[in-house]
A = this chain, B = another copy of it.
């Protein structure tokens, strides 16, 4: 079956030109909109292009030196629900501006990131959104080179750069303040990987809130997870094994809270009756957990939109270096309640 208008043999601008009885230059002008072309010829060319099923070759177009209309996003792990929501935001902006989006996964591994970055440069992408909590290294900066980069939740570290991030420290503070206000004093924290700055900042916020309330931070109530369900589950079991009392847990992200919830359940603790639980991120799932999860909401989609917007402007050189911090907000749901005294 040959579908009309979708040729099996690539048709070039030359075919259109000869079909319309004009030169390639005229076709180029007519189709790209640059330069003036008589209305009559213009129509004739459009018609010929349509009939032949001509599709301009963007490779040749970009080769000339222009933009490629393609940006890339590097995320640690697309399987973590936080990232798809972020990517969706980036994608939305990219599409609005007729850009395509390349997806790369780094697993938070600097070596992989460097390799991907090199590949992307060879492909001449217009820019990259770099997501992840690892601090910037020289290697990374070198691999980036002159590529416009917007980082999300990550320290920049190289000269010209743009970044957008949420207020992780403030969020950590809010989560713990909320628990303190409910009367909790023994508050455990399931942190993220110690190497990630976002995890460090949320932890720092947690400690600040504790100290501000005159509660001495207890190191044995802090366990590091991996930002995944399994990590949260294991972390909570570690906590249990330590046999230190706690009436609330602040999880560094919602996914860890899912695992913690399960571990608490298996151990016979009920949320929020026996222990209160707070998450971070407010992924879609949070409101559907039982109990629904009190959490610190990041404007995930907006983070993505903002990053992509900055990037696309940076790529055309119309935007000086800029570092945005977006506010977070506590969402009170059913996983937290006032502490039950004297048990």
Closest to A60 in B: B63
Q: How far is the CA of A6 from the CA of B145 in the complex (A)?
A: 5
Contacts of A159 in B (CB 8 A): 1
CB of B146 within 8 A of CB of A6, answer: yes
CB of A57 within 8 A of CB of B288, answer: no
CB of B3 within 8 A of CB of A145, answer: yes
Kindly state whether residue A42 has any CB partner on chain B within 8 Å. Answer: no
Known: A102-B103, A120-B100. A6 touches B78 (CB 8 A): no
Q: How far is the CA of A216 from the CA of B85 in the complex (A)?
A: 42
Contacts of A141 in B (CB 8 A): 3
CB of B122 within 8 A of CB of A56, answer: yes
Kindly state whether residue A62 has any CB partner on chain B within 8 Å. Answer: yes
Contacts of A95 in B (CB 8 A): 105
CB of B288 within 8 A of CB of A265, answer: no
Minimum Cβ distance to chain B for residue A188 (Å): 19
Q: How far is the CA of A143 from the CA of B4 in the complex (A)?
A: 10
CB of B91 within 8 A of CB of A123, answer: no
Which segment, of A33-41, A128-136, A254-262, A313-321, faces chain B? A254-262
Closest to A9 in B: B146
Contacts of A233 in B (CB 8 A): 288
Contacts of A7 in B (CB 8 A): 145-146
Minimum Cβ distance to chain B for residue A209 (Å): 28
Kindly state whether residue A219 has any CB partner on chain B within 8 Å. Answer: no
Taken together, the copies of this chain in the complex come to 2
Known: A79-B85, A84-B79. A123 touches B100 (CB 8 A): yes
Known: A62-B59, A288-B229, A288-B259. A102 touches B100 (CB 8 A): yes
CB of B87 within 8 A of CB of A103, answer: yes
Kindly state whether residue A55 has any CB partner on chain B within 8 Å. Answer: yes
> Per-residue 0/1 for A293-316: is the Cβ within 8 Å of any B Cβ (1 yes, 0 no)?
000000000000000000000000
Kindly state whether residue A178 has any CB partner on chain B within 8 Å. Answer: no
Contacts of A5 in B (CB 8 A): 142
Closest to A53 in B: B145
Q: How far is the CA of A77 from the CA of B7 in the complex (A)?
A: 30
CB of A59 within 8 A of CB of B124, answer: yes
Q: How far is the CA of A81 from the CA of B258 in the complex (A)?
A: 15
Contacts of A57 in B (CB 8 A): 63, 122, 124
> Per-residue 0/1 for A56-89: is the Cβ within 8 Å of any B Cβ (1 yes, 0 no)?
1111101100001110100001110101110110
Provide 17 A-B residue pairs closer than 8 Å at the C-beta atoms, listed in order of the A residue. Answer: A3-B138, A3-B145, A6-B143, A6-B146, A55-B118, A55-B122, A77-B88, A79-B84, A79-B88, A81-B84, A100-B102, A100-B120, A102-B103, A258-B288, A261-B290, A265-B290, A285-B285
13 extra interchain contacts, Cβ-Cβ under 8 A, other than A56-B122, A98-B119, A261-B290?
A6-B142, A6-B144, A57-B122, A58-B123, A59-B59, A59-B63, A59-B124, A72-B100, A79-B81, A79-B88, A87-B103, A88-B105, A258-B285
